[in-house]
Structure 1
Amino acid sequence: MQIDTKIIAHRGSRGTRPENTLISFKTAIDEGAEGIETDVHFSKDKRFIIMHDETVDRTTNGTGLIMDKPLAEIKQLDAGIKFSEEFKGTRVPTLEEVVEMLIKINFTGIFNLELKTNKIHYPGLERAVYEYFAGRHYPFQLIYSSFNGKSLEILNRIDPQAYKARIFRTAAKQAKTLKRSKVIEDFHPDIRWVKKHPFYAAARHLRPWLVNSTEDMQYCFERNMAAIITDYPGRAVQVRAEMRGGLI
């Protein structure tokens, strides 16, 4: 079976490693993922912090908002202990550290960077991220995404050539408006919404999340969607190989 669907690891191999850490991203790539997805915030001293939540509470041994903490304080937190004792001492990475790792291993897949501005709109984050990437060479395909359409519009004004996607759970009309306005190229919808609205967009423009069950993986692979975003990239690689007839 012809399947071109790429596998993007959601916060790395989140199902098997502490999310949004270097070991999580490296594991996902080693398992065969063609892409990794992650999230970026601003610290108090305007450093790029890789974490999903606006607070450090859920994934580290600390408490409080990222925006209230300088990088030095965040670097003292343990980002692995809550996942498993095995990963005690794992640190919260910066965007720079993730990119350096990807460059070091010559990662040529997709790097999907979500701007986490839907709850806290960090002023200047869009331009700061743009300027960081504009100043360096990297081997991967950079895709920006966000739940916040305004962030994507800001980024589009700064760099119309940037590859952008709108994430949504149910806000499909707003996403379509951004597409018609040429602000975004693709859609990153909730898989549950996709299954209820199978004719929303061409498969080549869809990268649904969170595609974790074998059934949902098969659903996306059968339709040859652009990519899936999953917590279990290793499992997805196996399912896709089986559907391809054993060909990785």
Structure 2
Amino acid sequence: MNDTQHFPLPEIAAHRGGSRFPENTLSGFRHAASYGVEQVELDVHLTSDDQLLVMHDETLDQTSFGTGPISRFTLAEIQSSSLRQIDESAPSLDQALAALAPSRMRVRIEVKPGGSPGGYEKTHRQVMLLAGKHGMSNRITVMSFDPAALAFFTGSGVPTSLSVWPHAQASIQTFGPVVAQAAEAGIDDLGLSFARTTPDMLALAGEAGLTAGIWTVNDASRLDYWLRQPVAYILTDHPDIAKRVRDGLQGIASDV
């Protein structure tokens, strides 16, 4: 039975640049454009000198040869050590946006919780400054699990996306207050765990005027399912596989 009903199909976002290169690297971001997908996602933390470093973890240990919390070091100190598995240092957001500017991709910037007092306000200033510097002010979406991080961006013209903790998707009863609070705060979108998301949850978000996306879907069969659902985008480590699956669905649609 063919259940391809929702067109246009969801956009595809290369999670941390995709899996062809180590995560959150300049090589990965430069390569992301070759997948032919619409979006790329990266993570940022404030350094001790208030620069934005692109790295997923709060500490340097797992993905670089540095050690300790990012917030304890300056950008220059962090970039004096290389990343693991690639002869590059962790990029700044400035460097990442410079690498991505020639593409047409939307950049999803995830602001990680924590950091120094007043860090979210400093992060907002840096994101807006750097997006403007690289001519990308209309090509960024700001994401976070913390609504407080998004509060500085709501009303600024930059789309915002609240990443929802899986426990808040335990049921439609626990999910309902998240939707209501996000809508009241002026947030535009919800980023949802694919394992917890139900059609009722998507419908509830839509009724509140929110779009929704799914993270992080890698298996081809799951991609086939989610690309048929009323979601705005799908984050994946394998944008090449997602693009191939979506191309197949578009072929089915054109034959209908």
Normalising by structure 1, we get a TM-score of 0.85
Specify every segment of 5 or more residues in structure 2 that has no aligned partner in the other structure, as ranges: 169-174
Question: 2:195 and 2:35 mapped to 1: Cα distance?
Answer: 26
Question: 1:239 and 1:136 mapped to 2: Cα distance?
Answer: 32
Alignment match of 1:100 (pick from 95, 98, 106)? 98
Question: 1:175 and 1:198 mapped to 2: Cα distance?
Answer: 12
Partner amino acid, structure 2, of 1:129: V
Whether the 8 Å contact between 1:149 and 1:166 is mirrored in structure 2 is: yes
Partner amino acid, structure 1, of 2:66: G
Question: 2:182 and 2:231 mapped to 1: Cα distance?
Answer: 17
Partner amino acid, structure 2, of 1:120: G
Partner of 2:109: 113
Q: CA deviation at 1:137?
A: 2.2
Partner amino acid, structure 2, of 1:186: D
CA RMSD of the aligned region, Å?
Answer: 2.5
Question: 2:124 and 2:180 mapped to 1: Cα distance?
Answer: 20
Question: 1:163 and 1:144 mapped to 2: Cα distance?
Answer: 6
Q: CA deviation at 1:44?
A: 1.2
Partner of 2:223: 217
Matched, 1:7 2:5: no
Question: 1:39 and 1:214 mapped to 2: Cα distance?
Answer: 25
SS at match of 1:11: helix
Map Cα deviations across residues 121-163 of structure 1 (whole Å, 9 max, x no partner). Answer: 635222332343345522762101100011112332xx43221
Partner of 1:239: 245
Equivalent residue runs for 1:114-133 within 5 Å: 114-117=110-113, 119-120=114-115, 122=119, 124-133=122-131
Question: 1:213 and 1:140 mapped to 2: Cα distance?
Answer: 31
Aligned residues with identical type, % of pairs: 26
Whether the 8 Å contact between 1:108 and 1:140 is mirrored in structure 2 is: no
Partner amino acid, structure 1, of 2:243: V
> Structure 1 residues 108, 92: closer, same or farther in 2, change over 3 A?
same
Equivalent residue runs for 1:47-196 within 5 Å: 47-81=51-85, 87=86, 89-103=87-101, 105=102, 107-117=103-113, 119-120=114-115, 122=119, 124-134=122-132, 137-138=135-136, 141-156=139-154, 159-170=155-166, 171=168, 172-173=175-176, 175-195=178-198
Whether the 8 Å contact between 2:10 and 2:230 is mirrored in structure 1 is: yes
Normalising by structure 2, we get a TM-score of 0.83
Partner of 2:20: 16
SS at match of 1:126: helix
Question: 1:198 and 1:42 mapped to 2: Cα distance?
Answer: 33
Partner of 1:84: none
Whether the 8 Å contact between 1:108 and 1:139 is mirrored in structure 2 is: no
Q: CA deviation at 1:238?
A: 0.8
> Structure 1 residues 136, 9: closer, same or farther in 2, change over 3 A?
closer
Q: CA deviation at 1:194?
A: 1.0
Question: 1:133 and 1:110 mapped to 2: Cα distance?
Answer: 11
Question: 2:69 and 2:185 mapped to 1: Cα distance?
Answer: 34
Question: 1:229 and 1:209 mapped to 2: Cα distance?
Answer: 5
Q: CA deviation at 1:46?
A: 1.1
SS at match of 1:64: coil
Instruction: Work out the number of aligned pairs and report it.
Output: 236
Whether the 8 Å contact between 1:175 and 1:187 is mirrored in structure 2 is: no
Q: CA deviation at 1:230?
A: 0.6
